[in-house]
Structure 1
Amino acid sequence: MADPITTASAGTMPRTLEALAGHYAAGPGVSLVPLAARAHVSLRAHPDAVSAVGGALGLSLPGKPKTSVVAEGVSALWLGPEDWLLVGGTPASQMIAAIEGSGTVLHSAVDVTDRYVGIRIEGPAAEAVLSSSCPQDLRLQSFPVGAVSRSVFAKADMVIWRRGESEFELFCVRSFADYVWGLLTEAAQFPAV
């Protein structure tokens, strides 16, 4: 009997099923779309290792709170001092191998790809929908394009990334995906704009 958690096609490794596969929702001025699977790596690096680790990835790791850097197909999201989430189309194993090849031992890089489910919230009402259950100040002047932060949506921990003036990506833990999706879908029906 096949494992219901994974799927496999001829000649490929089994892959975890997408938690929100087939979901789509929209409301006045907003659309919600699950993000395609991308690699996620939790990176912690000592200040002395930041330059070498960033160089190995082909980017400069952001050093300021709530910032992000995108380069070479990898996005580095600042989550805290010495703490980043790497997101990209590059497999996590390749990102980790590049980091390991940097020559520094003052880091930790862990594949957390299957931990997160991503959702894109887009449209003029995106900020209002996300603010419906998120205490973070998401106004453009406080949370500009490129800003990233850990926060909560109702009772679910998540990472919020502002990709455009009216576009956000959020990453929640897989076990909360249906819960977050349901609340977002409900808020999208009557956004308080």
Structure 2
Amino acid sequence: MADDLVSTLYAPDAGQEPLLALPDVSILKTAPLARLSFRGRNGVLAAASKGFGLDLPVKPLSAETGPDRAAFWLGPDEWLLLAQEDMLSETMEGLATALGDTPHALVDVSHRQDAMLVTGDQAAWLLNSGIPIDLHLEAFPVGMVTRTLFHKAPVMLWRIGPDAFVVEAWGSFIDYVAGLLIEAAQELKAA
């Protein structure tokens, strides 16, 4: 799952150097994506799934993925939908057509959020420097997604591999989160 998503959706931003490159952990900013916030009641799931081209997840803390898109369950009536940046108009039109007059909320939040890939043997340890949830593989398995806090910043965390995570944060917080991760990684250098 991780390799496919990294190569299509969460590809490292080619214009950026790694934020952190240690033997046991690395942090890379990702290229821009089309991000849509979708809200709707259970009656709209079939239409929204058809319009998006991927079944929206209904299980808490889960994600559904396809070759060029992903959908994250964020709450009982809330999802974050991702597609390649150049597919924004096409994705919005597909959802609007499928949903028609059905009550829902669909908002382009592409410029609100950014993402980082945190990978390596010490990725979970590094993220736990600011995230107060158990990130052991048994407690937070591959595929699990949640909203949480990194120190004081709201983030969305998705495990895409045993030692690989996507951290989504609002653009105004991404440098704060990255800076604290880099600072915490100094302990790894000293060890």
TM-score > 0.5 by shorter chain: yes
2:75 aligned with 1:80: yes
Paired with 2:141 and 2:122, the residues of 1 have a C-alpha distance of 16
Give the CA deviation at 1:52. Answer: 1.1
Give the CA deviation at 1:23. Answer: 4.8
Kept in 1, the 8 Å contact 2:71–2:79? The answer is: yes
> Aligned match of 1:94 in 90, 97, 111?
90
Q: Deviations over 1:26-80 (max 9, x none)?
A: 2341000001111110011210000111011111110011100002511001111
Instruction: Output the TM-score relative to the length of structure 2.
Output: 0.85
> Aligned match of 2:131 in 123, 131, 134?
134
Query: Any gaps of 5 or more consecutive residues in structure 1?
Result: 1-17
3-state DSSP class of the match of 1:33? strand
Paired with 2:17 and 2:114, the residues of 1 have a C-alpha distance of 13
Give the CA deviation at 1:156. Answer: 0.4
- The alignment yields a C-alpha RMSD, in angstroms, of 1.9
Task: Indicate the structure (1 or 2) with the bigger Cα radius of gyration.
Answer: 1
Matching residue's letter, 1:98 = G
Matching residue's letter, 2:73 = W
Identify the residue that residue 3 of structure 1 maps to in structure 2.
Answer: none
Instruction: Output the TM-score relative to the length of structure 1.
Output: 0.84
Number of aligned residue pairs? 174
Identify the residue that residue 156 of structure 1 maps to in structure 2.
Answer: 153
2:173 aligned with 1:176: yes
Give the CA deviation at 1:188. Answer: 2.1
The 5-angstrom pairing of residues 30-41 of structure 1 reads 30-41=25-36
Kept in 1, the 8 Å contact 2:39–2:105? The answer is: yes
Kept in 2, the 8 Å contact 1:26–1:188? The answer is: no
Identity %: 36
Paired with 1:190 and 1:180, the residues of 2 have a C-alpha distance of 17
3-state DSSP class of the match of 1:144? coil
Identify the residue that residue 42 of structure 2 maps to in structure 1.
Answer: 47
Matching residue's letter, 1:101 = T
Matching residue's letter, 2:75 = G
Kept in 1, the 8 Å contact 2:18–2:26? The answer is: no
